[in-house]
Amino acid sequence: MATNAPDTTVAYDSPRGRGVLLASVLGSGMAFLDSTAVNVALPAMGRELHTGLSGLQWAVDAYLLTLGSLVLTGGALGDVKGQRRVFLLGMLAFTVTSVLCGLAPNTWTLAAFRAAQGVGAALLVPASLALLRTSFPPQDRQRAVSAWAGLSGVTTAVGPLLGGWLVDAGSWRFVFFLNVP
């Protein structure tokens, strides 16, 4: 059955196609970079928040638990409500909760905000990849997904370096404020 819906895909080599790819990589990259950069900041967090390994473990695991348990739900929500809408909602949630994490006065507040940040990441990551499926025509999808995967790997690898630099430059809180721009 033919549809009269207009083709809304963009060519990979077009400026708009590069913009879609860049937005997708930056969105998922925020979540990947954050998860590795925070690990480097843990000793500084422990000192400033006067907590030990168990408190820091809560801050790490709260994020990973919500992200891991809700990523499939985030993908399904994107299928129902639209990838772009879920991507933007995930980006907004991740950014707001990043600021809240950076302002956290104690370990338990940080852990709660990290759990909320994981929810934002669970919306953001699958939607960023699904945007490529819906934005590029079949002949360009493989290139777009390959670029997304490669560049996402770069953001994950850069996380510890950037996290260490931010902690040395001032505070562990900068690791979270990095997500605002």
**Per-residue pLDDT at 179:** 85
Instruction: Quote the mean pLDDT of the chain.
Output: 91
Which pLDDT tens digit goes with each residue over 11-56? 888 889 999 999 999 999 888 888 888 999 999 999 999 999 999 9
Q: What is the mean pLDDT of residues 90-111?
A: 96
Q: What is the mean pLDDT of residues 53-71?
A: 94
Query: In this structure, which amino acid lies at residue 26?
Result: L
Which pLDDT tens digit goes with each residue over 113-131? 999 999 999 999 999 999 9
**Per-residue pLDDT at 43:** 94
Contacts of 111 (CB under 8 A, 6+ apart): 55, 58, 59, 62
Cα gap 56→71, rounded to integer Å = 23
Q: At what angle do helices 107-135 and 53-81 cross, to 10 degrees?
A: 30
pLDDT higher than threshold 60 for residue 68? yes
pLDDT higher than threshold 90 for residue 3? no
**Per-residue pLDDT at 7:** 61
What the block records as the tokens of 47 is 């000192």
**Per-residue pLDDT at 66:** 97
Q: Any idea what the Cα angle at residue 31 is, between residues 11 and 105, rounded to 5°?
A: 150
**Per-residue pLDDT at 18:** 92
Q: What is the mean pLDDT of residues 92-118?
A: 97
Cα gap 139→154, rounded to integer Å = 25
Share of the chain above pLDDT 90, in %: 73
The label of the residue with tokens 């820091």 reads 56
pLDDT higher than threshold 90 for residue 10? no
Cα gap 97→120, rounded to integer Å = 8
Contacts of 175 (CB under 8 A, 6+ apart): 34, 37, 38, 40, 41, 102, 163, 166, 167
